[in-house]
Structure 1
């Protein structure tokens, strides 16, 4: 098993045998099952650093976490959330968890359990949350037909310092019916974002400029979408069980393009599902398409021939099915994985956030380049022009590493500046009162 490059993760609405399951896509055999988490809603599954699986519960206000090499959940932690989660995402660095409860989006820091933000720009249930591959932004889409692009750093830096909610970077409201799925290609904010809706349209946006590139109108309501790794073909699943493919190598000259059953040839269809196609995923080599549907089956398709090469029956409608790179620890049952996490808080502690996220400007010299300045206390920013440093926050993920001595020096500098600030405040207060006398 250790030679597997990819595994397939699936879940269904039954949940009697397991909450989710990892499969060998080549042989169709079970590799590992994860139990005790109920059933998972669509878009309610995510990985934390490829070492832990986190899922939402379809019937309870809980999140469940398993090590990838164990069917038993992480003990000693209880992730209670404000309500039943409708969609879930984790930042690629494993630092932040974003979850939607109906139309409200919550952001937690996994290591501390602190609720960092609560966003309420949607007015109907949020059905999908997706991060860009660099973790700098995420997209929320809902039954209100809106797709919002959020800049994570703007949300985190404004929390606790302003009563005004952070506005999204972009707000797309082109769809007229609920959005059912969202896909972001690779490339950070230079990538494409594609959405599908029950209004039969697939809309592709350029995230760098926030403009609509292409609007594809299909003959059936759309329920799922994926794009291959080369960004050459779009695959959409429909409510009637069809899977259509559209080539982006020779796009139409018009921004809006209508397709019908006559123009969609047999070379552009995958026919095999007997109900709505709920999820789509493409293997790393681009040769295999995995689809799950309400007909309780997961199909593996050979893309060049459009033929089914394997079918895995389930006990309920498929809610999640995706290819993921095989975690190394999945095949080593002896490895003990440790998760730095705390119970999720159900409210934003403004006073605590203001204390922990005390920000000062500090110039840090670096052995290789004295002009480099480091970002500390915000794990997703990387190298920046100023240093936001917390007295209780560890070093974030930046370009390069900072040794422990340097960290202690920075913390000492923060304590010194805090003391100076306190002394200045006390001196000013005493001067004012003395002059008043």
Structure 2
């Protein structure tokens, strides 16, 4: 199995340290970081990104260098940061509740939109990166389709292009059942049918269905929840609280797991054990964790900032504001190893990762990077800026040659029409709908251009040119109508499949919950 490492990041100015999971020995460190909870993320396979506390900046590191590789500045302090699984997109949440989406390869700020009324507290991508979930201090949780975020047609026609990248995006789902700020979210496997867990300072963890948006279960804990995770099979929930405790709750049945010590303590008499079991069953049925028979991992003295389960499902890694990270055995619930952060600074992130094979086992001397790094450009601060792209580099433009006939005159007229329309649009040609809106303004520039070339042929040449341009525009309009009809048919089929998928998912959910209650 590939070597696993734990990355520790702190809220005060210090280094991000990498530790070997098996031996708790330090592998390397990355200098120049001070990031809060939920602001550190991996970007693809080659980079680490962290939003800084004291300045409106994002720092980037590559695994084989301990110095900051790149610094990018943002419009406001970022309170949350997440990257798509393939590293193509980076999303940050601001203190004002605004979400920012960058394209990592080009550095362009693709879109920024108001998503929350207060600061964004956490972000999470689905396995394929097609779904983004955000939560904020306004107690709201929202799910966003990445395709909707990247849809440039939301910016409207060229006449309203002054606010490029600022069009509002409508969420797929919005939940507002929490009563205090949401501190952590966990998005399971399954893309649109994934299980979503949200944790809040209101001492509750809520489980949601992304398919229907319905609340599946609410679990109440003894203290405010600051971190949450589920095992690979999504049978057991682990929640960390503000008092440093970590609670374990099974999701399949009603009876909560009890550690051996609690069972021994409750075994003083048969009546006492029966009363304890009855109280635990009643608490479990009500969705309450922390009563008799519940399971608690004790060792941290301050709030839990991070929880992650190892890929083999045998160990739990927890980070805490007490300046330590602990590795727990999930079977015995015992602490195997404890790792201290530099200068005992509060740990805000304890990330698990497969240590790159091209790096040495320890230290930074003699390390070499991969043969080819993933492209990374400096992030643009404002929408519409090209980042570090060259002036001639931009979005791909597909030219359809169906308008050109065999005769050279038709091709020339079509080319002049395209040139005239492109001259009217501010920037690259947006879509065929812009051609329809400029249908009345195409003929005049083209006719004027023809008059400048040859004034003697203005009478007959201009008339034929206008006629050909009108035919070209009519063909474009016909193509747009056909595309709109195909789009409508595709949406109908997609809606039918979505309805069938939702019914199937609800049926399976009811069966699983019924089986758990019967057990």
Same fold (TM over 0.5): yes
**SS of residue in 1 equivalent to 2:322:** coil
8 Å CA contact retained: 1:215, 1:255: no
Residue 341 (structure 1) aligned to one of 365, 376, 387? 376
8 Å CA contact retained: 2:42, 2:49: yes
The whole-number CA distance in structure 2 between the counterparts of 1:344 and 1:301 is 38
The whole-number CA distance in structure 2 between the counterparts of 1:86 and 1:414 is 48
User: In structure 2, what is the equivalent of residue 242 of structure 1?
Assistant: 245
**SS of residue in 1 equivalent to 2:177:** coil
In the TM superposition, what is the alpha-carbon distance from 1:275 to its structure 2 partner?
Answer: 1.4
The whole-number CA distance in structure 1 between the counterparts of 2:329 and 2:350 is 16
1:40 matched to 2:55: no
The whole-number CA distance in structure 2 between the counterparts of 1:349 and 1:210 is 34
8 Å CA contact retained: 1:158, 1:166: no
User: In structure 2, what is the equivalent of residue 326 of structure 1?
Assistant: 355
8 Å CA contact retained: 2:420, 2:445: no
In the TM superposition, what is the alpha-carbon distance from 1:72 to its structure 2 partner?
Answer: 1.9
User: In structure 2, what is the equivalent of residue 116 of structure 1?
Assistant: 110
Deviates more, 1:126-135 or 1:156-165: 156-165
**SS of residue in 2 equivalent to 1:26:** coil
The whole-number CA distance in structure 1 between the counterparts of 2:228 and 2:93 is 20
Cα RMSD of the aligned pairs, angstroms, is 3.1
User: In structure 1, what is the equivalent of residue 4 of structure 2?
Assistant: 6
Residues 421 and 151 of structure 1: is their aligned pair in 2 closer, same or farther, counting only changes over 3 Å?
farther
Matches within 5 A, 1:26-425: 26-36=22-32, 38-74=33-69, 77-102=70-95, 103-158=97-152, 161-162=155-156, 164-250=167-253, 257-265=286-294, 268-314=295-341, 315-331=344-360, 333-336=367-370, 338-349=373-384, 392-393=394-395, 413=400, 419=415, 422=418, 425=421
Residues 295 and 422 of structure 1: is their aligned pair in 2 closer, same or farther, counting only changes over 3 Å?
same
8 Å CA contact retained: 1:180, 1:224: yes
The whole-number CA distance in structure 2 between the counterparts of 1:25 and 1:255 is 34
Residues 414 and 70 of structure 1: is their aligned pair in 2 closer, same or farther, counting only changes over 3 Å?
farther
User: In structure 2, what is the equivalent of residue 359 of structure 1?
Assistant: none
Residues 313 and 322 of structure 1: is their aligned pair in 2 closer, same or farther, counting only changes over 3 Å?
same
Deviates more, 1:306-315 or 1:243-252: 243-252
Residues 23 and 419 of structure 1: is their aligned pair in 2 closer, same or farther, counting only changes over 3 Å?
farther
8 Å CA contact retained: 1:68, 1:329: no
The whole-number CA distance in structure 2 between the counterparts of 1:57 and 1:275 is 22
The whole-number CA distance in structure 2 between the counterparts of 1:324 and 1:308 is 20
Could you say which structure has the larger radius of gyration?
Answer: 2
Q: What TM-score does the superposition give when structure 1 sets the normalisation length?
A: 0.78
8 Å CA contact retained: 1:391, 1:411: no
In the TM superposition, what is the alpha-carbon distance from 1:429 to its structure 2 partner?
Answer: 2.8
Residues 50 and 257 of structure 1: is their aligned pair in 2 closer, same or farther, counting only changes over 3 Å?
farther
**SS of residue in 2 equivalent to 1:86:** strand
In the TM superposition, what is the alpha-carbon distance from 1:131 to its structure 2 partner?
Answer: 0.5
Of Structure 1 and Structure 2, which has the larger fraction of its residues in helix? 2
Deviates more, 1:144-153 or 1:208-217: 208-217
User: Aligned residue pairs: how many?
Assistant: 376
Of Structure 1 and Structure 2, which has the larger fraction of its residues in strand? 1
1:429 matched to 2:425: no
8 Å CA contact retained: 2:122, 2:184: yes
Residues 48 and 264 of structure 1: is their aligned pair in 2 closer, same or farther, counting only changes over 3 Å?
same
Residues 8 and 197 of structure 1: is their aligned pair in 2 closer, same or farther, counting only changes over 3 Å?
same
Q: Which runs of 5+ in 2 are unaligned?
A: 157-162, 256-281, 361-365, 405-413, 422-440, 449-461, 467-519
8 Å CA contact retained: 1:12, 1:318: yes
In the TM superposition, what is the alpha-carbon distance from 1:427 to its structure 2 partner?
Answer: 5.6
Deviates more, 1:321-330 or 1:293-302: 321-330
